[in-house]
Protein backbone atom coordinates (compact mmCIF):
# COMPACT_ATOMS: atom_id res chain seq x y z
CA UNK A 1 0.00 0.00 0.00
CA UNK A 2 1.30 3.45 -0.88
CA UNK A 3 2.06 5.85 1.97
CA UNK A 4 -0.24 8.71 2.93
CA UNK A 5 2.25 11.21 1.55
CA UNK A 6 2.21 9.41 -1.81
CA UNK A 7 -1.59 9.48 -1.87
CA UNK A 8 -1.59 13.20 -1.16
CA UNK A 9 0.97 13.75 -3.89
CA UNK A 10 -1.13 11.81 -6.38
CA UNK A 11 -4.27 13.77 -5.56
CA UNK A 12 -2.37 17.04 -5.85
CA UNK A 13 -0.85 16.02 -9.18
CA UNK A 14 -4.24 15.12 -10.61
CA UNK A 15 -5.65 18.43 -9.46
CA UNK A 16 -2.74 20.33 -10.97
CA UNK A 17 -3.09 18.55 -14.30
CA UNK A 18 -6.70 19.64 -14.60
CA UNK A 19 -5.99 23.16 -13.38
CA UNK A 20 -3.27 23.75 -15.96
CA UNK A 21 -3.58 26.47 -18.58
CA UNK A 22 -4.95 25.80 -22.03
CA UNK A 23 -2.91 26.11 -25.18
CA UNK A 24 -2.00 29.59 -26.39
CA UNK A 25 -5.14 30.12 -28.44
CA UNK A 26 -8.57 30.05 -26.84
CA UNK A 27 -9.90 26.65 -25.85
CA UNK A 28 -12.50 25.35 -28.29
CA UNK A 29 -16.15 26.09 -27.64
CA UNK A 30 -17.21 22.78 -29.14
CA UNK A 31 -15.15 19.96 -27.64
CA UNK A 32 -16.24 17.04 -29.75
CA UNK A 33 -16.14 13.42 -28.63
CA UNK A 34 -15.88 10.53 -31.12
CA UNK A 35 -19.19 8.72 -31.43
CA UNK A 36 -17.74 5.40 -30.30
CA UNK A 37 -16.89 6.93 -26.90
CA UNK A 38 -20.50 8.00 -26.36
CA UNK A 39 -22.14 4.78 -27.56
CA UNK A 40 -23.49 2.08 -25.26
CA UNK A 41 -25.79 -0.88 -25.74
CA UNK A 42 -26.82 -0.85 -22.07
CA UNK A 43 -30.12 1.01 -21.64
CA UNK A 44 -31.15 3.46 -18.94
CA UNK A 45 -34.69 2.18 -18.51
CA UNK A 46 -35.47 4.07 -15.28
CA UNK A 47 -34.44 7.34 -16.90
CA UNK A 48 -36.53 6.60 -19.98
CA UNK A 49 -39.55 5.70 -17.86
CA UNK A 50 -39.33 8.89 -15.80
CA UNK A 51 -39.00 11.15 -18.84
CA UNK A 52 -41.68 9.45 -20.93
CA UNK A 53 -44.16 9.57 -18.03
CA UNK A 54 -43.49 13.18 -17.14
CA UNK A 55 -41.86 12.49 -13.80
CA UNK A 56 -38.82 14.35 -12.43
CA UNK A 57 -35.42 13.06 -13.43
CA UNK A 58 -33.51 12.78 -10.15
CA UNK A 59 -29.81 12.12 -10.57
CA UNK A 60 -27.28 11.42 -7.83
CA UNK A 61 -23.59 11.91 -8.60
CA UNK A 62 -21.29 10.04 -6.23
CA UNK A 63 -17.64 10.84 -6.70
CA UNK A 64 -14.33 12.13 -5.48
CA UNK A 65 -12.95 15.64 -5.48
CA UNK A 66 -12.74 15.58 -9.28
CA UNK A 67 -16.55 15.84 -9.32
CA UNK A 68 -16.06 19.43 -8.19
CA UNK A 69 -13.84 22.39 -8.97
CA UNK A 70 -14.18 24.28 -5.71
CA UNK A 71 -17.12 22.64 -3.92
CA UNK A 72 -19.90 20.13 -4.51
CA UNK A 73 -22.32 22.96 -5.30
CA UNK A 74 -19.98 24.63 -7.81
CA UNK A 75 -22.02 25.85 -10.78
CA UNK A 76 -19.01 25.28 -13.06
CA UNK A 77 -18.42 21.64 -12.12
CA UNK A 78 -19.60 18.88 -14.47
CA UNK A 79 -22.69 17.86 -12.42
CA UNK A 80 -24.09 21.40 -12.68
CA UNK A 81 -23.13 21.61 -16.36
CA UNK A 82 -24.81 18.23 -16.90
CA UNK A 83 -27.97 19.54 -15.27
CA UNK A 84 -27.96 22.63 -17.46
CA UNK A 85 -27.43 20.56 -20.62
CA UNK A 86 -30.21 18.11 -19.71
CA UNK A 87 -32.64 20.94 -18.94
CA UNK A 88 -31.86 22.40 -22.35
CA UNK A 89 -32.48 19.08 -24.09
CA UNK A 90 -35.45 18.08 -21.92
CA UNK A 91 -37.21 21.42 -21.30
CA UNK A 92 -40.45 19.84 -20.10
CA UNK A 93 -38.78 17.55 -17.55
CA UNK A 94 -37.75 18.66 -14.04
CA UNK A 95 -34.07 17.69 -13.75
CA UNK A 96 -32.61 17.53 -10.25
CA UNK A 97 -28.97 16.67 -9.61
CA UNK A 98 -27.40 16.20 -6.20
CA UNK A 99 -23.74 15.51 -5.50
CA UNK A 100 -22.23 13.40 -2.75
CA UNK A 101 -18.46 13.79 -2.56
CA UNK A 102 -16.59 10.86 -1.07
CA UNK A 103 -13.03 12.24 -0.91
CA UNK A 104 -10.17 9.82 -0.30
CA UNK A 105 -12.54 6.84 -0.16
CA UNK A 106 -12.04 3.61 -2.07
CA UNK A 107 -14.83 1.95 -4.02
CA UNK A 108 -15.47 -0.41 -1.11
CA UNK A 109 -15.65 2.44 1.39
CA UNK A 110 -17.96 4.46 -0.84
CA UNK A 111 -20.27 1.55 -1.61
CA UNK A 112 -20.77 0.97 2.10
CA UNK A 113 -22.79 4.22 2.17
CA UNK A 114 -25.02 3.45 -0.82
CA UNK A 115 -28.04 2.12 1.05
CA UNK A 116 -28.24 5.27 3.16
CA UNK A 117 -27.60 7.58 0.21
CA UNK A 118 -30.19 6.02 -2.05
CA UNK A 119 -32.82 5.86 0.66
CA UNK A 120 -32.42 9.56 1.26
CA UNK A 121 -32.28 10.67 -2.39
CA UNK A 122 -34.36 8.03 -4.22
CA UNK A 123 -32.70 8.81 -7.60
CA UNK A 124 -33.73 7.48 -10.99
CA UNK A 125 -30.05 7.47 -11.94
CA UNK A 126 -26.80 7.21 -10.00
CA UNK A 127 -23.56 8.28 -11.67
CA UNK A 128 -20.75 6.60 -9.74
CA UNK A 129 -17.32 8.06 -10.39
CA UNK A 130 -14.63 5.81 -8.93
CA UNK A 131 -11.21 4.24 -9.37
CA UNK A 132 -8.81 7.08 -8.62
CA UNK A 133 -8.24 6.45 -4.92
CA UNK A 134 -8.06 2.69 -5.45
CA UNK A 135 -5.39 3.16 -8.12
CA UNK A 136 -3.38 5.53 -5.91
CA UNK A 137 -3.55 3.14 -2.97
CA UNK A 138 -2.75 0.16 -5.22
CA UNK A 139 -5.84 -1.70 -4.04
CA UNK A 140 -5.86 -5.22 -5.44
CA UNK A 141 -7.66 -4.96 -8.83
CA UNK A 142 -9.74 -8.07 -8.11
CA UNK A 143 -10.87 -6.61 -4.81
CA UNK A 144 -11.66 -3.35 -6.59
CA UNK A 145 -13.77 -5.18 -9.18
CA UNK A 146 -15.70 -7.01 -6.48
CA UNK A 147 -16.33 -3.77 -4.59
CA UNK A 148 -17.60 -2.03 -7.72
CA UNK A 149 -19.80 -5.00 -8.60
CA UNK A 150 -21.29 -5.11 -5.10
CA UNK A 151 -21.88 -1.36 -5.13
CA UNK A 152 -23.64 -1.48 -8.49
CA UNK A 153 -25.79 -4.39 -7.31
CA UNK A 154 -26.85 -2.36 -4.26
CA UNK A 155 -27.85 0.59 -6.43
CA UNK A 156 -29.75 -1.59 -8.91
CA UNK A 157 -31.56 -3.39 -6.11
CA UNK A 158 -32.65 0.01 -4.82
CA UNK A 159 -34.33 0.67 -8.18
CA UNK A 160 -31.87 3.07 -9.79
CA UNK A 161 -30.17 3.08 -13.16
CA UNK A 162 -26.38 3.24 -12.83
CA UNK A 163 -23.64 4.81 -14.93
CA UNK A 164 -20.04 4.05 -14.03
CA UNK A 165 -17.55 6.85 -14.68
CA UNK A 166 -13.87 5.97 -14.66
CA UNK A 167 -10.81 8.02 -13.71
CA UNK A 168 -9.89 11.37 -15.19
CA UNK A 169 -6.92 11.35 -17.57
CA UNK A 170 -3.73 12.91 -16.27
CA UNK A 171 -0.58 12.76 -18.41
CA UNK A 172 1.45 14.00 -15.42
CA UNK A 173 0.59 10.95 -13.30
CA UNK A 174 0.36 8.36 -16.07
CA UNK A 175 3.77 6.89 -15.19
CA UNK A 176 3.24 7.13 -11.43
CA UNK A 177 0.12 5.04 -10.95
CA UNK A 178 -1.09 1.95 -12.80
CA UNK A 179 -4.47 2.94 -14.21
CA UNK A 180 -5.32 0.20 -16.78
CA UNK A 181 -6.26 -2.57 -14.30
CA UNK A 182 -8.90 -0.36 -12.71
CA UNK A 183 -10.27 0.88 -16.01
CA UNK A 184 -10.42 -2.68 -17.34
CA UNK A 185 -12.19 -3.99 -14.24
CA UNK A 186 -14.77 -1.21 -14.37
CA UNK A 187 -15.48 -2.17 -17.96
CA UNK A 188 -15.91 -5.82 -16.92
CA UNK A 189 -18.42 -4.87 -14.21
CA UNK A 190 -20.32 -2.62 -16.62
CA UNK A 191 -20.63 -5.46 -19.12
CA UNK A 192 -21.63 -8.03 -16.51
CA UNK A 193 -24.21 -5.76 -14.87
CA UNK A 194 -25.40 -4.40 -18.25
CA UNK A 195 -24.87 -0.75 -17.34
CA UNK A 196 -23.29 2.10 -19.31
CA UNK A 197 -19.67 3.09 -18.70
CA UNK A 198 -18.82 6.75 -19.34
CA UNK A 199 -15.17 6.54 -20.37
CA UNK A 200 -13.97 9.87 -18.96
CA UNK A 201 -10.35 8.68 -19.13
CA UNK A 202 -10.43 8.03 -22.88
CA UNK A 203 -12.42 11.20 -23.59
CA UNK A 204 -9.98 13.45 -21.73
CA UNK A 205 -7.01 11.68 -23.30
CA UNK A 206 -8.55 12.30 -26.72
CA UNK A 207 -8.92 16.02 -25.98
CA UNK A 208 -5.32 16.20 -24.76
CA UNK A 209 -3.85 14.29 -27.70
CA UNK A 210 -5.74 16.23 -30.36
CA UNK A 211 -4.70 19.52 -28.74
CA UNK A 212 -8.06 20.72 -27.49
CA UNK A 213 -6.71 21.01 -23.96
CA UNK A 214 -3.20 20.92 -22.54
CA UNK A 215 -3.63 18.72 -19.48
CA UNK A 216 0.12 18.41 -18.88
CA UNK A 217 0.99 22.02 -18.14
CA UNK A 218 1.38 22.41 -14.35
CA UNK A 219 0.50 26.10 -14.29
CA UNK A 220 -2.63 26.73 -12.27
CA UNK A 221 -5.63 28.01 -14.20
CA UNK A 222 -9.21 27.66 -13.01
CA UNK A 223 -10.54 28.56 -16.46
CA UNK A 224 -9.27 25.32 -17.98
CA UNK A 225 -10.96 23.30 -15.25
CA UNK A 226 -14.23 25.11 -15.99
CA UNK A 227 -13.90 24.40 -19.71
CA UNK A 228 -13.13 20.70 -19.21
CA UNK A 229 -16.01 20.28 -16.76
CA UNK A 230 -18.39 22.03 -19.14
CA UNK A 231 -17.34 19.72 -21.96
CA UNK A 232 -17.73 16.66 -19.73
CA UNK A 233 -21.19 17.77 -18.65
CA UNK A 234 -22.35 18.22 -22.22
CA UNK A 235 -20.85 14.91 -23.34
CA UNK A 236 -22.47 13.14 -20.40
CA UNK A 237 -25.88 14.65 -21.22
CA UNK A 238 -25.68 13.24 -24.74
CA UNK A 239 -24.57 9.89 -23.34
CA UNK A 240 -27.60 9.77 -21.02
CA UNK A 241 -30.09 10.87 -23.69
CA UNK A 242 -28.83 8.24 -26.11
CA UNK A 243 -28.64 5.44 -23.52
CA UNK A 244 -32.23 6.17 -22.48
CA UNK A 245 -33.26 6.10 -26.15
CA UNK A 246 -35.01 9.44 -25.84
CA UNK A 247 -36.06 10.59 -29.30
CA UNK A 248 -37.23 14.00 -30.54
CA UNK A 249 -40.69 13.41 -29.11
CA UNK A 250 -39.29 13.43 -25.59
CA UNK A 251 -36.87 16.29 -26.21
CA UNK A 252 -39.35 19.13 -26.51
Tens digits of residue pLDDT in 71-107: 666 888 999 999 999 999 999 999 999 999 998 999 9
How far is the C-alpha of 49 from the C-alpha of 57, rounded, in Å?
10
How far is the C-alpha of 148 from the C-alpha of 85, rounded, in Å?
28
Q: How many Å separate Cα 98 from the centre of its chain?
A: 13
Would you say residue 237 has pLDDT above 90? yes
In this structure, which CATH number among 3.30.1360.120, 3.40.47.10, 3.30.450.20, 3.40.50.1110 belongs to the domain 4-24+42-243? 3.40.50.1110
At residue 166 the predicted structure's pLDDT band, cuts being 50, 70 and 90, is very high
How confident is the model at residue 249, as a pLDDT?
A: 64
pLDDT digits (tens, 9 = 90+) for 99-112: 999 989 999 999 99
Is residue 96 within 8 A of residue 56, CB to CB? The reply is yes
Round to the nearest angstrom and report the end-to-end CA distance of the chain. Answer: 51
How confident is the model at residue 248, as a pLDDT?
A: 75
140-155: average pLDDT: 98
How far is the C-alpha of 197 from the C-alpha of 213, rounded, in Å?
23
- What is the full DSSP assignment across 134-194? HHHTT--HHHHHHHHHHHHHHHHHTT-EEEEE-PPP-TTTTTTS--HHHHHHHHHHHHHHT
How confident is the model at residue 122, as a pLDDT?
A: 94
Instruction: Provide the angle, in degrees to the nearest 10, between the axes of the packed helices 78-89 and 222-243.
Output: 40
How far is the C-alpha of 160 from the C-alpha of 47, rounded, in Å?
9
Would you say residue 140 has pLDDT above 90? yes
CA triple 193-248-227, angle to 5 deg: 70
How confident is the model at residue 9, as a pLDDT?
A: 40
pTM: 0.86
DSSP structural state of residue 75: T
Centre a 10 Å sphere on the Cβ of residue 219 and count the other Cβ atoms it contains.
10
Would you say residue 2 has pLDDT above 60? no
Percentage of the chain beyond pLDDT 70 is 83
Higher pLDDT, 21 or 178: 178
33-59: average pLDDT: 96
Higher pLDDT, 82 or 212: 82
How confident is the model at residue 12, as a pLDDT?
A: 42
Within 8 A by CB and 6+ apart from 180, the residues are none
At residue 35 the predicted structure's pLDDT band, cuts being 50, 70 and 90, is very high
Amino acid sequence: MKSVSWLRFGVAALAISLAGVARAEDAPQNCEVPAYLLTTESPLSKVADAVKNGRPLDILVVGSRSSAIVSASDANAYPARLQAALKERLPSVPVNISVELQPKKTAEETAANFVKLVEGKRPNLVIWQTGTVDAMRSIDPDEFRQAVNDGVATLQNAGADVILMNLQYSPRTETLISVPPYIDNMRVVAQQRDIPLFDRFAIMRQWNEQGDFDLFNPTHGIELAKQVHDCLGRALSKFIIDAAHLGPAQQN
